Amino acid sequence: MSNPAQLPVAVIGGGITGLTAAYRLVQQGRIVRLFEASSLLGGAIRSERDGDWLIEAGPNSLQQTPALASFLTELGLDSVKLIARPEAKNRYIVRGGKPQAAPTSPPGLITSKLFSTGAKLRLMGEIFIRPRTRTADLSLAAFGEFHFGRELVDYGLSPFVSGVYAGDAEKLSTRHSFPSLWETEQTHGSIIRGQIAAAKAKRARGEPTGAPPIISFTEGLEALPRSLAARLPADSVSLNARVTLLTPPTSGQPWQVQWMRDNQTGTESCAAVILALPAAALAKLAIGSDDIRPLASLADIEYPPVSSLFLGYRREQITHPLDGFGMLVPPIERRSLLGVLFNSTLFTGRAPENHVALTVMTGGTRTPDLARLSDADLLSLVARELDSLLGVRGDPVFVRRTVWPRAIPQYNLGYERFLDVIATAEAAHPGLHVGGHVRDGISMTNCISSGFALAQKTLA
């Protein structure tokens, strides 16, 4: 066999996970071949400038951990980085048909109109919960109810989960969707005491204790995949190249990666293979021969549709001060929206002067059909909701809609069955490494960490 270190590493999938892995491998002196099925790099990350409007079709912001901050510095992105504006501190949650600011501090909790006095007292009692090791996983709703009571689930956890996963707290697994909560219960019992202890430990290490800053870039989140792509050798990236078959090393032959472009088939010899793909693509991938699909059962992972509707208005069309990150709509309120982001409050440069930009999310696990409405039906439904919730009058002056038919994987109860299938495939094929939003967490920050870990495993 040829010297494996001289063969390229195949990175399959040009979303943020694959790009990060490819970048790190190139930094470490490895040759990389990145295959992307579509004509664009970045996967779910899509930013578009139209005059003074800046539209994010997919993710709108990301959380900056200390490791991510160093990475952005390394990429030279500090000069175009935007930190969420202080005006975006509030997070509104709808209760009784009105947006109420969610408490952001313990004193804020006492005066908050979002929760009843009974719910606040129930929350304070949480500090007495002792550490426990559960034998079975628990839905996020059941976990939240045990710790904080039902009202906190209905008006805190459930809307939060709609905002992050477009998911259902009754179905999501605590262990897989919020592993830090699961671990905190084991070590501290009380989540509140766990958070106090974590803040203390950070302070002792000289790290900032608050929530990580929310960030983007002047021309949107796509600056990050663009910057990574620009640092890869030009001949290392193949666009419109859908990988269909992987042949593992046999009798002195390295991995063979087979892909399709315009009905033509290409094959490349590689030392190792990184898969950074959505579940449906992993499920279709043949490994060994055309009819063997070891990851086929990943097709059962629930991926609800989400519609992202970007709307521009003149400032005077809206009575609400829009002094926040956005507004989440709890399922218990039985309305049609998952939530609304106040884009032009969150970051500068998202709307022309005297105008504001909102992004309205619909669909998700509980109301998938609302992502599939026609543009006209969705616009009239959204107009009614925005009028009643935010005092929005008249037609938007700018509209852009993106529908994600399969937006975000749901780490529902029983998700370990999918993780086991992935681990079994890796164990059967040394040199195969799987990561990305199917396995390592759904946020962009998780996917970047996943890309680093994939590169590390390949180099080991």
Which residues of this protein are in contact with ligand FAD, per CB under 6 A? Answer: 12-18, 35-38, 43-45, 58-62, 242-243, 276-278, 281, 306, 308, 404, 407-408, 436-437, 442-445, 447
Q: Are 196 and 63 in contact (CB under 8 A)?
A: no
420: number of Cβ within 10 Å: 11
**Residue 211 CA to chain centroid, in angstroms?**
17
Residue closer to ligand FAD, measured from CB, 189 or 278: 278
Residue closer to ligand FAD, measured from CB, 156 or 363: 363
Residue closer to ligand FAD, measured from CB, 148 or 404: 404
Residue closer to ligand FAD, measured from CB, 276 or 328: 276
Task: Return the structure tokens found at 55.
Answer: 């539209």
- The minimum distance between CB 142 and ligand FAD, in angstroms, equals 25
Task: Return the structure tokens found at 209.
Answer: 């204790």
320-325 contact pairs (CB < 8 A, 24+): 320/99, 320/389, 320/390, 320/391, 320/392, 322/356, 322/358, 322/390, 323/87, 323/90, 324/87, 324/88, 324/89, 324/90, 324/91, 324/92, 324/101, 325/84, 325/88, 325/89, 325/90, 325/91, 325/214
H/E segment holding residue 204:
helix 191-204
Beta strand 432-434 with 272-275: parallel, antiparallel or unpaired? parallel
Q: In what order do the strands lie in the sheet with 98-101?
A: 98-101, 91-95, 326-328, 339-341, 355-363, 306-314, 398-404
- The minimum distance between CB 102 and ligand FAD, in angstroms, equals 17
Residue closer to ligand FAD, measured from CB, 138 or 243: 243
CA distance readout (Å), 311 to 168, 340, 341, 361, 399:
26, 10, 10, 11, 5
CA distance readout (Å), 383 to 18, 305, 392, 420, 422:
39, 21, 8, 45, 44
Residue closer to ligand FAD, measured from CB, 61 or 112: 61
- The minimum distance between CB 442 and ligand FAD, in angstroms, equals 4
What residue type is 328 in one-letter code?
L
Beta strand 9-12 with 214-217: parallel, antiparallel or unpaired? unpaired
Report how far residue 41's alpha carbon sits from residue 329's, in angstroms, rounded to the nearest whole number.
32
Burial class for 169, CB neighbours closer than 10 Å (0-12, 13-18, 19+): buried
Residue closer to ligand FAD, measured from CB, 244 or 336: 244
- The minimum distance between CB 172 and ligand FAD, in angstroms, equals 15
Output the furthest CA–CA distance in the chain (Å, rounded): 71
Residue closer to ligand FAD, measured from CB, 35 or 115: 35
- The minimum distance between CB 170 and ligand FAD, in angstroms, equals 21
- The minimum distance between CB 176 and ligand FAD, in angstroms, equals 14
What residue type is 123 in one-letter code?
L
Residue closer to ligand FAD, measured from CB, 13 or 194: 13
- The minimum distance between CB 211 and ligand FAD, in angstroms, equals 14
- The minimum distance between CB 60 and ligand FAD, in angstroms, equals 4
Residue closer to ligand FAD, measured from CB, 24 or 95: 24
What residue type is 140 in one-letter code?
L
- The minimum distance between CB 238 and ligand FAD, in angstroms, equals 9
251: number of Cβ within 10 Å: 5
- The minimum distance between CB 345 and ligand FAD, in angstroms, equals 15
